[in-house]
């Protein structure tokens, strides 16, 4: 339903509602609120803004290093440069497609084309994403444990939702009974398409299970995941410091995992409005102003747009250069 016309309509309504909610919380509809928001933007420390962009780039590099670890373990082709290119192109499609999963689909498709194996490509992206989600859940669980009374229903419910979804995806990815169930449905309904999906899913599961016994691999991918989220926290902290030098790193260590969990909820188009709402509420929960939460979120949003522009240059730059010019 979520990808149907009704689902898209609901996501559009939710996106508009979230944007209006964020503007209301940040006081954008009032003259005094706009003045406070404008003062934060006007007083931005541009050195820290640039520093936050550099941190975001390093975070992207760590993400690619982690993905390459899986690619090498699965004996797939894919250099660091090529995987970085796929990552940025994925960010482009994350921005222009209605679903935030569009970038992962693009990464799977491009890597699958390169290696003539969509199953192993899908397994590599799934393992990279899923292991990161497990570390995020651990970090968020620690935050919830220490701040349960003050965390707010949104953050606690987001943790429960993401935990339940991750549990289901983890089971579906490794338990052969899930693929067998798809196969039995294909036979029952005489569906060739579903039968082909079941066959592909068996290959996908086998590709993932092959990594389970490699302890060195699991240790390395855990280290990369922890490093990724350490950089994510640093990214948000430096972004917030650009507008307010009094933001505490400890507060960001507590809040960022919960904010990132909220951003995984599939309720808006491309996360638009949802990210801004999670930052606004998260910063208010920590005792900072909603305006600071919104300005930090907008800087983070700007960096996703920069990533998308880089992806656009990768995606369309080569084709534009190769297009013959028309005679005058």
- Give residue-wise pLDDT tens across range 160-202: 888 888 888 888 888 888 877 877 887 877 777 777 777 777 7
* Per-residue model confidence (pLDDT) at position 3: 53
* Per-residue model confidence (pLDDT) at position 82: 95
Mean pLDDT over all residues of the chain?
85
Burial 189-202 (b: 16+ CB within 10 A, else e): eeeeebbebbeebb
Burial of 132 from C-beta contacts in 10 A (0-12 / 13-18 / 19+): buried
* Per-residue model confidence (pLDDT) at position 151: 56
* Per-residue model confidence (pLDDT) at position 147: 65
With residues binned 3-state (H G I as helix, E B as strand, rest as coil), the percentages for the chain, rounded to 5, are: 80, 0, 20
Start-to-end CA span in the chain (Å): 51
Q: What whole-number distance in Å separates Cα of residue 109 and Cα of residue 129?
A: 16
Q: What whole-number distance in Å separates Cα of residue 177 and Cα of residue 127?
A: 19
Q: At what angle do helices 249-262 and 153-174 cross, to 10 degrees?
A: 60
Q: What whole-number distance in Å separates Cα of residue 297 and Cα of residue 277?
A: 9
The alpha carbon torsion through 304, 306, 311, 316 (nearest 10 deg) reads 140
Q: Which residues of the chain fall short of a pLDDT of 70?
A: 1-4, 97-100, 147-154, 212-213, 318-328
Q: What whole-number distance in Å separates Cα of residue 144 and Cα of residue 128?
A: 25
* Per-residue model confidence (pLDDT) at position 143: 82
Give the predicted TM-score (pTM) of the model: 0.86
Domain ranges of the chain: 44-316
* DSSP characters over 232-272: HHHHHHHHHHTT-TT--HHHHHHHHHHHHHHTTSS-SGGGT
* Per-residue model confidence (pLDDT) at position 97: 67
Each residue's pLDDT tens digit, 114-130: 998 888 899 899 999 99
Contact 35, 302 (CB under 8 A): no
Those residues whose C-beta lies under 8 Å from the C-beta of residue 180, and which sit 6 or more positions away, are 198
* Per-residue model confidence (pLDDT) at position 247: 94
Those residues whose C-beta lies under 8 Å from the C-beta of residue 222, and which sit 6 or more positions away, are 131, 135
Question: What is the three-state SS of 64-133?
Answer: HHHHHHHHHHCCCCCCHHHHHHHHHHHHHHHHHCCCCCHHHHHHHHHHHHHHCCHHHHHHHHHHHHHHHH
């Amino acid at each position: 339903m979520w990808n149907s016309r009704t689902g898209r309509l609901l996501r559009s309504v939710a996106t508009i509602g979230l944007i209006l909610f964020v503007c209301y919380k940040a006081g954008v509809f009032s003259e005094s609120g706009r003045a406070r928001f404008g003062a934060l933007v006007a007083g931005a420390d541009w050195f820290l803004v640039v520093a936050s962009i550099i941190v975001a780039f390093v975070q992207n590099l760590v993400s690619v290093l982690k993905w390459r670890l899986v690619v090498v373990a699965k004996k797939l082709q894919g250099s660091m440069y090529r995987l970085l290119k796929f990552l940025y192109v994925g960010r482009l499609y994350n921005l222009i497609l209605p679903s935030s999963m569009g970038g992962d689909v693009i990464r799977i498709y491009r890597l699958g084309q390169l290696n003539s194996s969509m199953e192993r490509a899908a397994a590599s992206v799934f393992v990279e994403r899923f292991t990161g989600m497990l570390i995020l859940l651990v970090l968020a669980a620690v935050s919830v444990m220490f701040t349960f009374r003050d965390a707010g229903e949104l953050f606690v419910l987001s943790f429960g939702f993401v935990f339940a979804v991750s549990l289901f995806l983890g089971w579906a990815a490794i338990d052969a009974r899930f693929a067998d169930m798809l196969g039995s449905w294909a036979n029952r309904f005489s569906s060739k398409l579903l039968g082909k999906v079941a066959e592909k899913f068996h290959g996908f599961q086998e590709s993932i299970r092959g990594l389970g016994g490699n302890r060195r691999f699991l240790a390395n991918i855990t280290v990369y995941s922890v490093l990724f989220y350490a950089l994510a926290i640093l990214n948000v902290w430096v972004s917030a410091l650009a507008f307010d030098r009094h933001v505490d790193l400890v507060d960001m260590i507590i809040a960022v995992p919960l904010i990132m969990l909220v951003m995984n909820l599939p309720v808006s188009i491309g996360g638009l409005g949802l990210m801004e709402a999670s930052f606004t509420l998260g910063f208010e929960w920590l005792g900072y102003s909603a305006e600071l939460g919104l300005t930090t979120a907008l800087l983070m949003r700007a960096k996703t747009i920069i990533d998308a522009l880089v992806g656009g240059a990768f995606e369309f730059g080569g084709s534009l250069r190769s297009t013959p010019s028309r005679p005058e």
